[in-house]
Structure 1
Amino acid sequence: MTEALLVTAAPPLLAEKSAWLRALEEERRASPHTLAAYERDVRQFLAFLTAYHGRPAELGDLAELRSTDLRAFLAARRRDGVEAKTLGRSLSGIRSFVRHLERRDLASSAGARAMRAPKQPRSLPRPLSVPDALSVTEEAGALAAEPWLAARNVAVLTLLYGCGLRISEALDLPGDALTDATARSMPILGKGMKTRLVPLLPAVHAAVADYRRLCPFALSAEAPLFRGAKGGPLRPQIVQREMARLRGALGLPPSATPHALRHSFATHLLAAGGDLRAIQDLLGHASLSTTQGYTAVDSARLLSVYDQAHPRARRAS
């Protein structure tokens, strides 16, 4: 499915696609990642329709869209080795585009609504244990070449575990963030451009203050808080690389990634009696069902402890 195929799509269809993306950005405040993914999904679908019908895709193809057309598209993608999660997102993007056309009386979304999303494999979050999470945040700077880089690594990973942030959320913090040492919380702009409040622990304040003191670059509101070795914005790949090095040094499993620290934040709060709804708010999950995945993790942990500790369980084994 090449870009050349897409250029041959009918101009009115391409114009509507551009209008839909603008609406997602301006009215729905979709993140750049969501926009890029949805654009790619619909681009691939239009290329499929072009090949499927043997002519440039037209608005009429979307107006008369049937669930069988979508099934054929998803089947073709599956043959290319695309996983169920990506297929589900593709279907979501196509549905959004068709709903846009429906609002403009250019299509009906009945066929897209009738199409069931591919069954998603159940995958549980894989958090670190409390000792391992503490080791990661305490030893995060051990392998750094310079003191300020060591302090930076500690500050970033402490934010992920101490506040439950995504990497992108930590790296998007402006240079004037966390300057008030008495602040108990701070607003975070997360997925879907939604703002939530996250708690600020003394350990988080201390780690960021140490980094700010040692950082050789001026940190202002107009530039990001966390910097790369040459002063540019710190990239997620660098954080992931540093975590991989730390993982090897501490003997942690491959599942010990930066995002696992966010999982650890939620799981450890839940294990300590945290309220599920409150954890949902702290993580910025749109749906409670997403947060409920942590209850399965905690249940599995409790069963493991039971199997190892209960006298009857030990005797049975």
Structure 2
Amino acid sequence: MVGSIALVGLLFPATAQAQAACVWQRAELPVPAGHGNPAVKGVGGAYTVALTRATPTPGIVRWHNGQPALLGSPAQDATFYGAPRDVSANGTVLADLVPTAGPPVGEPYVTLLDGTHKPLGTPSPGQQKVAVAINAGGDVVGYTSVDGVQRLVVWHASDYSKPQVLGAGDPAGIDDAGFILAKPGIRYKQGEIAKPLKKPAGATQIQVHGYDNNTAAGLAVIGDSFYATVWNADGTVRHVMSTGKAQSANSQGTVLNGGPIHKLWRAGQEADLPVPGPANYTQAFVTERDTVVGNYRDDVDGYAAEWTCG
């Protein structure tokens, strides 16, 4: 079949030409004076968050509709700084307090829209706690270790000091209804039956890698290759695309590869990224507005931007 590759009952486009080309428009995400080289770490609703290079320590910038705000840190001295992980659609930033030198092992906390910092409670004294993602309501999912078993943890926005330890699992994200997406591909919520994501036809394994915009994205192993895959909200397969690893997706079916080399799909077909577009080996995201948010570089510096396909 000319122009496509048939495999186990699914159709994979061979080139990007099958998808209409975009006329990309770039909107810069500016940083405050004294800060530069922003590294985008998360998107949520109209918010974007990034780590910036600054002296004496890196900073956190949160944009709302493209307007920047420099966030403070709960650090008590200059040997620690806040490193963002994600941002909620309500503006709450999930971050870790990490040392400027030594192992990057941090204490997770959130910064609310009013600038208040809230530490995430420890499940039990001495237990490790790792925060992974935050949903639109501000609930955080992560994990801890209990008797050598990795367990899911939820910190509810109603009281971040009281973690809820759940069953064993490795979280990829949490949706706005409170369902946790756990690897390799199970939607889980306390008190409800766990719902595994469906495998595409011919797939022997699946692995999720992202849960942006309440949309599960990852890969399926078919034969000897990894194929980027995105799922519907009910766990059925929406698209199996060309080789790659889907990392960020939205409900419209726009999907970004998880890198290190960025790739874009629309409606299951490869599409062209902007030039310059998201830099390789950096994080990038698609939004529910059907835009792409990430970093691009010139010969010297890095910048943050949001691209719209016109």
* Interval containing the TM-score (normalised by the shorter chain): under 0.3
Normalized per residue, which structure has more strand?
2
TM-score (norm 2): 0.21
Larger radius of gyration: 1
TM-score (norm 1): 0.21
Normalized per residue, which structure has more helix?
1
